[in-house]
Chain A
Amino acid sequence: MKNNLKEERIKKELTQVQLAEIVNVSRQTIISIETNRYVPSVLLSLKVANALNIKVENLFELENSD
């Protein structure tokens, strides 16, 4: 699953730490999501989308391999 979290986060002028604090996770989790090392749960995906004020389907995208 691809995501454009980094781009959306930068658009909203948020740092990794700030976003992590808003959604109540560690900075490592944000880094892992941005580098596609970790696929977040539905709950966390919704929280992140909500924090960035966008729809969750605009944040995550299925790949052919999924």
Chain B
Amino acid sequence: MKFLLPHRFKKIGAIIAPLGFFLWFCMQMGFVTQFLIFLFGKSFNEQREFSYHLVNVIIAILSFFSFLGGIYFVAFSKEKLEDEMVERTRLESFQFSALVQLISIIIGFLSMSVLGEPSESGLMLFFIVLIFLFWLCFICRFNYTLHIKIKNEK
């Protein structure tokens, strides 16, 4: 594939993806809000509602896209030596991830039809999980096949 990034982006991605996820997790758990209140006091929340929300939104966007960008960097970076077996393993991993995602979509929609329609945020979360599931599945399968499985066979 000609559009792959140089190998160094894999390392960059491996650093920013967990950082982004950690920040996003802290955001979801309310730790960021608590930290802002700790920094600026409770009045910051009440008096400057606009600034407060702006900071929250910026952190949310930054963390989400850091995580997503990091995952893309890891997935679309060349290996140190990009040969035909690596290319084929990459292709097979894409196929595997697409299959896992398809099964997840079917199970998700079947669950919705049985358990009832989820809320708007629940549906949104379901689609976000589907996006990440594809890429995480690809990264795990690709690296496992290429680095761990072969090492065990030596």
Beyond A35-B153, A37-B153, whether A28 also contacts B146 by CB under 8 A is yes
B88–chain A nearest beta-carbon distance, Å: 8
What separation, in Å, do the CA atoms of A31 and B154 have in the docked complex?
7
Residue B150 is within 8 A (CB to CB) of chain A in the complex: yes
Task: Select which of B81, B88, B153 is within 8 A of A31 by beta carbon.
Answer: B153
Q: Most chain-B Cβ atoms within 10 A of its Cβ — which of A28, A32, A41? A: A28
CB of A32 within 8 A of CB of B85, answer yes
B83 closest partner in A (C-beta): A25
Chain B residues with CB below 8 A from A35, complex form:
153
Contact B81 A25 (CB under 8 A): yes
Nearest chain B CB to A20 CB, angstrom units: 8
Q: In the complex, what residues of B have CB within 8 A of residue A38's CB? A: 85, 88
Q: Which of chain B's residues 76-98 have a Cβ closer than 8 Å to chain A?
A: 79-81, 83-86, 88
Q: By CB atoms of chain A within 10 A, which of B88, B150, B153 has the most?
A: B150
Which listed residue, B80, B88, B153, B154, touches A26 by the CB 8 Å rule? B80
Q: CB of A44 within 8 A of chain B?
A: yes
Cα–Cα, bound, A29→B81 (Å) = 10
Query: Hey, which chain B residues are within 8 Å of A31, CB to CB?
Result: 150, 153-154
Q: Which residues of A contact B83 (CB under 8 A)?
A: 24-26, 29, 44
A12 to chain B, nearest CB (A): 20
Could you tell me the distance between the alpha carbons of A3 and B134 in the complex, rounded to whole angstroms?
35
Q: How far is the CA of A26 from the CA of B79 in the complex (A)?
A: 10
Known: A26-B79, A28-B146. Contact between A44 and B84, CB under 8 A?
Answer: yes
Which residues from chain B contact A41 at a C-beta distance below 8 Å?
84
A29-58: which residues lie under 8 A (CB-CB) from chain B? 29, 31-32, 35, 37-38, 40-41, 44
* Chain A residues engaging chain B, CB cutoff 8 angstroms: 24-26, 28-29, 31-32, 35, 37-38, 40-41, 44
Give B residues with C-beta under 8 Å from A. 79-81, 83-86, 88, 146-147, 150, 153-154
